[in-house]
Amino acid sequence: MAYTEQDIRRIAWGTHVDFPTTTTPHHAQSHTLTGSDHTAASLTAGDIFEATSATAFGFVGRILKAYRTADGTAVTNTTLTNDPVLTLTLAASSNYDFKILGFSSNAGAAEGIKVALSGTVGVTHLKAQIYIYDDTLNTLVAFARVTALGSSVGAGLSSGDNFFEIRGSIETSTTGTFLLQSAQNAAGASAGVTVQRASSLIALRVS
């Protein structure tokens, strides 16, 4: 049998009633998720609530992000050094678009900077464009494509604050880290090159 709203209201507190199975929606009102009133388990920062098929929805890991809240340690040689902050863990068998915005400083013009992508992630395919700008000269001093982890692009720069950018796409085979590397472009005796606060790495999982 079916119960009307009035029937339900007349049911005494504590009374057990078996309700029939129904495929009819109980009402047409929408639900608002507010603050801590609704929680979910096993989520990762950056997960997005989205339709996962024509009839289902859920949380999906789409956006990964890393941000420098302080300047890094100066690199005083030409050996590429992993950035411990600008690093992400990518999933296996996935495709990502990514972007690195790098604010940097170098104490000596001759030494400049070189940057590369690195990590333990398995790579099926990679394309990235690396741009290095001289802020003093207002000039793009280096521009090149890389297709493998560990392939660096570098340039001499005016001493002081400068900027680099890396944009690209990666297809992964196995899960692993994905990160920025930096170093002096040429050996020198200056205080080195630093990746500064406000630099960021963002990866968007597209499939």
The verdict on residue 90 lying in a domain is yes
Contact predicate 70/163, CB 8 Å: no
**24 or 68, which is more confident:** 68
Lowest model confidence (mean pLDDT) among 14-18, 62-66, 105-109? 14-18
Q: Which residues contact 122 (CB under 8 A, 6 or more apart)?
A: 92, 172, 173, 174, 175, 176
The verdict on residue 150 lying in a domain is yes
Give the pLDDT mean for 163-168.
98
The verdict on residue 80 lying in a domain is yes
> Which CATH number characterizes residue 81's domain?
2.60.120
Number of structural domains (the chain) is 1
Contact predicate 128/115, CB 8 Å: no
Lowest model confidence (mean pLDDT) among 17-26, 78-87, 125-134, 167-176? 17-26
The verdict on residue 21 lying in a domain is no
